[in-house]
Amino acid sequence: MPKTNADLAAAFEQTADLLELQQANPFRVRAYRNAARVVGELKLDLVSLVEQGKPLPRLPGIGADLAGKIEEFARTGHLALLDRLRKQIPSGVAEMLQLPGLGPKRVRALYEELHVTTLRELARAARDGRVRELPGFGAKTEQRILEAIEAHAGKPQRLKLVTAAQYARALLGWLRKAPGVGEVAAAGSLRRSRETVGDLDLLAAADDGATVCQHLLAYPDVAEVRASGDTRATVVLASGLQVDLRVVPPGSFGAALMYFTGSKAHNIRLRTLAIERGFKLNEYGLFEGRKLVAGASEAQVYRALGLPWIAPELREDRGEIEAALKGKLPVLIERADLAGDLHAHTNWSDGTASIEAMARAAQAHGLSYLAISDHSRRLTVAHGLDPQRLAKQCAEVEAVNRKLDGITLLTGIEVDVLDDGSLDLPDSALEPLDVVIAAVHSKFDLSRAAQTRRILAALEHPKVKILAHPVGRLIDRRDPYDVDMLAVIRKCRAAGVALELNAHPERLDLTDTACRMAKDEGARVVINSDAHAEHEFDNLDFGIGQARRGWLEKADVINTRPLREVRAWLAAAKETTR
């Protein structure tokens, strides 16, 4: 029986998909999508709360009906509504929604007009030229559908980092209850903070490995057992996620954690280094002949190889071994280094909480300043602000500021970049603001040259201080737009604009390689939550993981600075443009 927020979120998301295919009330569909997003990002284990008989917390956009669905799912592992919808709509039809460019309206047309119920049937219809005959499709759309199906078929299932982390937390909690178990840890891609995770790699220290493996097999969410022995077990959860467990003696835990964390390329470099120094390195330890030299901790193994401990996020064979040998590893940024957040939304646009509620939530997450930066008017779906509403919001921000103690609000806007690089609001509306964030929310399909010109033009505006989510991607949902990232980074450095590392787990934009590029070029980064609800400040943790993968240090990130220095940075641009 599913037992995690991730499973609940998946059930809500599929319910929304199937309701949308049935042309249900758009507000109802949106409510389920919002519930999926909220639950999927929440650290608090809702299922466990219900099982313990505790009341559910107040969650944004989740009223009595959806709260009842959460309780139903926690008790039974099912949603009766979803079960009914699955009987009414073939599963293959819902799968079509995962293809880029196929929204509910088009999928419904394919299902009703061509009677296709699987991706295979859709591919056959496209190859036969039947798709192009439908109104609103055409030959180009038909070809794109074929390409998308081919890409989808060859793409292994990977989970977003936030979802994998939820599964891992529950599994590690279960393993800690195994008799005789010592340390337990998640390894692999999850520990290295990669954007997506394929399988979960778990590690446990125990003298009796068979007992720990059997304990994993008894996990309530196990749907299939693929292997089980005295030191390892492989299971598949009801969600389809594969979990690999390895159990080692306590004296080998550090070496095994290093080995199973990877990456493969990093491990090969370490084994080569060990051989050069007369050792043998494997998952059981570092050996000199048959003598165990090190293995209980990672630090011990690295030290025996003449290296300092290397943070998991760096272990990609991108120069970390060389830097370690030279004593030049970066002192990576940590979550505690963040002093503020310069990108958050409220119920003035598409957020769910008031200005004051967001301020107090940010403070509860350890922040001392927060920029309120709702959407501008161009983004009508988000109820964006026009100049008049923006001015009223600024007055409200100042009023709330007078009530706060320990956190300061800044006025701001996430303003749309128009097709020609100009901004969605006039200079007179932007001038009084503390923070102006430029964002691309449309025309993602421009050519590389046109998209680059557009963004470079926006960066020249004297009020722009941050470039939001610079490549516009949504992980597994929307590819990044094509842009000359090096040119953008160099322009940001020259213009005194910070590149945003948007910490939302669906974005994690900047990429890790772009973070590294920005650091090398001397451009500054700002790690923002892009929070639309009080709990979403938790997402800053994922932004920190991405920043660490990009070798960023505290000094590379603007919002590690105290407010007085951030104000000086913001004011500097104003002075130089007068």
Q: Give, as one character, the DSSP assignment of residue 553.
A: B
CATH number for the domain that contains residue 456: 3.20.20.140
Q: Are residues 440 and 565 in the same domain?
A: yes
Angle at 174 between CA 171 and CA 177, to 5 degrees: 150
DSSP secondary structure, 492-518, as one string: HHHHTPEEEEE--TTT-BS-HHHHHHH
Residue 90 lies in a domain: yes
Q: Which one, of 300, 313, 306, 304, lies nearest residue 266 by Cα?
A: 313
Q: Are residues 135 and 179 in the same domain?
A: no
Which residue among 124, 153, 182 closes a domain? 153
Residue 312 lies in a domain: yes
Q: Are residues 428 and 404 in the same domain?
A: yes
Q: Are residues 302 and 415 in the same domain?
A: no
Which residue among 109, 128, 153 closes a domain? 153
Residue 239 lies in a domain: yes
Number of domains in the chain: 3
Cα 355 from Cα 487, distance rounded (Å): 36
Report pTM. 0.87
Cα 510 from Cα 543, distance rounded (Å): 9
Domain that holds residue 463: 335-576
Q: Are residues 505 and 528 in the same domain?
A: yes
Please provide the distance, in angstroms rounded to a whole number, between the alpha carbons at the two ends of the chain.
Answer: 64
Residue 242, both tokens: 């594969």
Q: Which amino acid makes up residue 340?
A: G
Residue 351 lies in a domain: yes
Q: Which one, of 472, 462, 478, lies nearest residue 500 by Cα?
A: 472
Residue 95 lies in a domain: yes
Q: What is the pLDDT of residues 447-500, one digit of tens each?
A: 999 999 999 999 999 999 999 999 999 998 888 999 999 999 999 999 999 999
Question: pLDDT below 50 — which residues of the chain?
Answer: 2, 574-578
Q: What is the pLDDT of residues 145-181, one digit of tens each?
A: 998 888 777 666 789 999 999 999 999 999 999 999 9
Which residue among 325, 352, 387 closes a domain? 325
Q: Are residues 413 and 472 in the same domain?
A: yes
Residue 269 lies in a domain: yes
CATH number for the domain that contains residue 41: 1.10.150.110
Please state, as a whole number, how many other Cβ atoms lie within 10 Å of the Cβ of residue 61: 16
Q: Are residues 429 and 544 in the same domain?
A: yes
Q: Is there a contact between 446 and 481 (Cβ–Cβ < 8 Å)?
A: yes
CATH number for the domain that contains residue 308: 3.30.460.10
Strand partners, 292: 287
Q: Are residues 403 and 486 in the same domain?
A: yes
Q: Are residues 165 and 140 in the same domain?
A: no
Collapsed DSSP state (helix, strand, coil) of residue 116: coil
Q: Are residues 416 and 435 in the same domain?
A: yes
Sheet holding 280-282: strands in order across? 280-282, 285-288, 291-294
Residue 463 lies in a domain: yes
pLDDT of residue 571: 87
Q: Are residues 240 and 362 in the same domain?
A: no
Q: Are residues 430 and 310 in the same domain?
A: no
Q: Is there a contact between 524 and 534 (Cβ–Cβ < 8 Å)?
A: no
pLDDT of residue 575: 43
Residue 330 lies in a domain: no
